[in-house]
Amino acid sequence: MTQTAAGLLEMRGISIAFPGVQALGGADFTAAAGRAHALIGANGAGKSTLMKVLAGAYGHYTGSIRIDGREAKIRTPRDAKAHGIQVVYQEVDTALVPNLSVGENIMMEKLVHEMKGRHRVRWGDIHRAAQAVLGRLEVSIPTRKLVQELSLAEKQMVLIARAMTTACRFLILDEPTAPLSQAETERLFRLVRLLKSQGTGIIFISHRLPELYEICEDITIMRDGRVVARGEIKDMTQQQIVEHMLGSKWEGQFPRRTNTPGEVMFEAKDIRDGDKVKGASLFIRAGEIVGLAGLVGAGKTELCRALFGASGQVAGELKLGGRRLAVASPHDAVRSGLALVPEERRREGVFVEETVTANLTVATLPQYTRLGAWLSAARERLAAGGMIARLGVKTPDGSARVANLSGGNQQKIAIGKWLLADAEVYIFDEPTKGVDVGAKRDIYELVAGLAARGKCVLYASSEVPEIMGLTDRVYVMYDGRIVRELETDRTSEDEIMLYSTGGTGS
């Protein structure tokens, strides 16, 4: 692994602090051209921060970066690009202009930086050049199509293509596979292998361990702003990686369930929402965790939102404890005893500019008022403080802004506000997406705890192992319909996968 400095990217003793947080404390990182390097760690471990330093997003770090053995001064995104470092962030939409064509988006760097002295855009050249890049990457997307018409996976490809229009030596992929389906992931991996063979160094951030073995040669594991292990990935087992990430022995990922479900509490009949949900019926017993399995795009999120009234008035019928519910808005849903932990945490789950306390109490605010509407700060703090302790949220106190917390802690807060609300039916939509292993286990515990208290839980996830480990019963969705109902004990990952992909059992 250690050769000469040529083709080597080295970061030494990188430290950076933000108000109240020491995000990185002397982290070292090395990546090599032509290889894929897995960067893994629990949320808040500092991997995104480390990569942002490399990409020039922060100017105020200490430590040194060397490329080919020579000092590289990277303080701005422009510096990073000049050194051939490109990033494809998880939120692809922030980097693309939706109402411009694929060609313009790919050639954006050239259009912006290499138009000196020229004033006329040659459309033919743009599209030809973009087409050439896409051809080199063996990706087929029409260059005249508008970016807003592309799928998420295609948008990623466009961003990777854009990176390739410059002299890109190291490409950072920040959790690229999180939102992708199986087929899309394979397509991405084909592209990554191609880039490696062309000599690009890939830095690959992901929470999905199995895929790292498939695509990466080297691995660096971070914890609490430091690098705790590095080496070739084939020398490490998944078990070891998880142990390094958590820093403690890893015991049974899923909590042991002891309670047995009671009577049917919650029923939904023939829920319909346009062509996203085409007539779904389900029921949940008291104390039961029901899985909602299916691939990305199968309509799980849409069904969850429809049940919660978030898609406006949708066709269908809801019953809770035999009583019919009129749910035309989330406001109605909450009053009827429903709670939804939505999929897009930052966009739908939390208020990043607000404090932890304000986030936790938002769904139950009337509980902390005096004389009708006056808020009692003391009562709010008390409730939020208790919830912070119960959830194990890593925050200095309740007055910290949620924006400064890691993804896993933000998710705990998105869940915590509903624990305070004490609803009857809890709907979770991919609650562990982009969450580290440690926080995942906490979330599983919370879900199991709700069921133990006799609550109904609907747990939507495209991670089959999660469904297998946590639920009593599973509904499998495919193309907007519930195609199968399975007892978790009597099914297998393979069977769920089969129905998720539209297969039919014998």
Residue 261 to residues 257, 289, 319, 329, 464, Cα–Cα distance (Å): 11, 9, 18, 29, 22
Nearer to another protein, 309 or 408 (CB): 309
Nearer to another protein, 353 or 489 (CB): 353
Q: Bridge partners of 220?
A: 39, 230
DSSP state for residue 59 in the 8-state scheme:
S
Nearer to another protein, 113 or 335 (CB): 335
C-alpha 385/C-alpha 398 separation (Å) is 7
Q: Tell me how far, at minimum, the Cβ of 334 lies from another protein, in Å.
A: 3
Nearer to another protein, 391 or 468 (CB): 391
What would the two tokens of residue 445 be? 């515990």
Nearer to another protein, 301 or 488 (CB): 301
Q: Tell me how far, at minimum, the Cβ of 368 lies from another protein, in Å.
A: 8
Q: Tell me how far, at minimum, the Cβ of 209 lies from another protein, in Å.
A: 31
Nearer to another protein, 335 or 453 (CB): 335
Residue 243 to residues 37, 207, 221, 439, Cα–Cα distance (Å): 19, 14, 10, 14
Q: Tell me how far, at minimum, the Cβ of 331 lies from another protein, in Å.
A: 4
| DSSP for 125-186, written as a single string | HHHHHHHHHHHHTT----TTSBGGGS-HHHHHHHHHHHHHTS--SEEEEESTTTT--HHHHH
Q: Bridge partners of 173?
A: 88, 204
Nearer to another protein, 76 or 501 (CB): 76
Residue 165 to residues 107, 117, 160, 188, Cα–Cα distance (Å): 7, 20, 9, 18
Q: Tell me how far, at minimum, the Cβ of 489 lies from another protein, in Å.
A: 33
HSE-CB of 127 using CA atoms within 13 angstroms: 11
Q: Tell me how far, at minimum, the Cβ of 330 lies from another protein, in Å.
A: 5
Q: Where does this chain bind another protein (CB under 8 A)?
A: 59-62, 308, 310, 329-331, 333-335, 340, 342, 347-354, 358, 362-363, 365-366, 368-369, 373-375, 417
3-class DSSP state of 86: strand
Q: Tell me how far, at minimum, the Cβ of 354 lies from another protein, in Å.
A: 6
Q: Bridge partners of 205?
A: 39, 174
